[in-house]
Structure 1
Amino acid sequence: MNKDKRYKILSLFYSKCPEPKTELIFSSDFELLLSVILSAQSTDFIVNKTTKTLFKIANTPKGILLLGLSGLKNHIKEIGLYNTKALNIIRTSYLILNKYDGMIPKNRIELESLPGVGRKTSNILLNILFKKKTIAVDTHVFRVSNRTNFAKGKNVKEVENKLMRVVPNIFKLNFHSWFVLHGRYICTARKIKCNICLIFKFCEFNKKNNIFS
Structure 2
Amino acid sequence: MAPESITATAGMNSAQRHEVFVRLRSANPEPATELAYATNFQLLIAVILSAQATDKSVNLATGKLFADAPTAQAILALGEDGLAGYINRIGLHQTKARNIIATCRQLLDLHGGEVPPSRAALEALPGVGRKTANVVLNTAFGEATIAVDTHIFRVANRTGLAAGKTPLAVERELLKVVPEEFKLSAHHWLILHGRYVCKARRPDCWRCAIADLCAWPEKTVDPYAVPER
TM normalised by structure 1 equals 0.97
Unmatched tracts of structure 1, length 5 or more? none
Q: CA RMSD in A?
A: 1.1
Aligned to 1:73: 84
SS of residue in 2 equivalent to 1:7: helix
SS of residue in 2 equivalent to 1:42: coil
Whether 1:119 and 2:119 are equivalent positions in the alignment is: no
Aligned to 2:140: 129
1:53 to 57, 60, 64: 64
SS of residue in 2 equivalent to 1:12: helix
**CA deviation string 1:20-51 (max 9, x = no partner):** 01000000111100000000010000000000
Aligned to 2:217: 206
Q: Which has the higher helix share?
A: 1
Aligned to 1:8: 19
| Amino acid in structure 1 at the alignment position of 2:114 | M
Percentage of identical aligned residues: 49
The runs of at least 4 aligned residues of structure 1 exceeding 2 Å deviation read: 210-213
Unmatched tracts of structure 2, length 5 or more? 1-11, 224-229
SS of residue in 2 equivalent to 1:46: helix
Give yes or no for contact 2:204–2:222 (8 Å, CA) kept in 1.
no
**CA deviation string 1:52-84 (max 9, x = no partner):** 111111110110011111000111000000011
| Amino acid in structure 2 at the alignment position of 1:174 | S
- Alpha-carbon separation, structure 1, partners of 2:27 and 2:198: 16
Q: Say how many residue pairs are matched.
A: 212
Task: With a CA cutoff of 8 Å and minimum separation of 6, indicate the structure with the bigger relative contact order.
Answer: 2
How far apart are 1:93 and its partner, in Å? Answer: 0.3
How far apart are 1:212 and its partner, in Å? Answer: 5.9
- Alpha-carbon separation, structure 2, partners of 1:41 and 1:69: 20
Aligned to 1:144: 155
